[in-house]
Structure 1
């Protein structure tokens, strides 16, 4: 994976986390319950945390494995974006239940990404 792709991915996810966080804090605050808003914020936090780690890895002189990049990238998409979809669809009264099982798959990919970093540290 090239440094430019890693940095661009990190920047995109970071930018979207700020946008979604602001959207949640202002526009969604009026239509979501406290539990829904909390869930939405969890998605935003995890997205930002992993955008930051991708940014750090992108600037790091050592190469990150392609598998680590894809675990973090797909983990963010499946975890955070499924939470956004679940919360927003629930707020509209038409919860997209098929997204429920996708969230833990995304979480598992995030965990695997961290595990791959540990393995890489000892390689």
Structure 2
């Protein structure tokens, strides 16, 4: 589906911008621990943006699949919850957000699992 290519590309663009922001604007303002947290958010956002783009490309070349669609939406939710919570945690220091981050991680894992199931069944 074209929507996943767009969502993935937007997230890749945002990941690059966040990476640059972290390297240039936050480096002098954050403790090294929190800068590492920021970088983790950027890394996971970029990897999953590329996964979402791949899902979009696959969707355009195979019959419609709920496994593929759910995989893309879970990766998108994972970016918002996982990376988003890490961005907020690193800039605000609100430690309770660390409890939310694993929810995004589970969304990533389930998204990749559904992509595996799709590949086993359809490809």
- Same topology, TM > 0.5: yes
Residue of structure 2 in register with 1:32 after alignment: 30
Over 3 Å off, 4+ runs: none
Distance 1:32 1:112 in 2: 32
Residue of structure 2 in register with 1:7 after alignment: 5
Post-superposition Cα deviations, 1:11-38, rounded to whole Å, max 9, x if no partner, equal 1101100110000000000111111111
Paired residues of 1:85 and 1:96 also in contact (CA < 8 A): no
What CA RMSD, in Å, does the superposition of the two structures yield over aligned residues?
1.3
Higher helix share: 2
Q: 2:47 aligns with which of 31, 49, 60?
A: 49
Task: Report the TM-score, using the length of structure 2 for normalisation.
Answer: 0.89
5+ residue gaps, structure 2, are none
> Which stretch shifts more, 41-50 or 99-108?
99-108
Q: Give the number of equivalent residue pairs.
A: 116
For 1:24-103, list aligned pairs within 5 A. Answer: 24-60=22-58, 61-62=61-62, 63=64, 65-90=68-93, 95=94, 97=96, 99-103=97-101
5+ residue gaps, structure 1, are none
Task: Report the TM-score, using the length of structure 1 for normalisation.
Answer: 0.89
- SS of the residue corresponding to residue 32 of structure 1 reads coil
Residue of structure 1 in register with 2:108 after alignment: 110
- SS of the residue corresponding to residue 27 of structure 2 reads helix
Post-superposition Cα deviations, 1:36-64, rounded to whole Å, max 9, x if no partner, equal 11110000000000001111221222356
**Deviation of the 1:96 alpha carbon:** 5.6
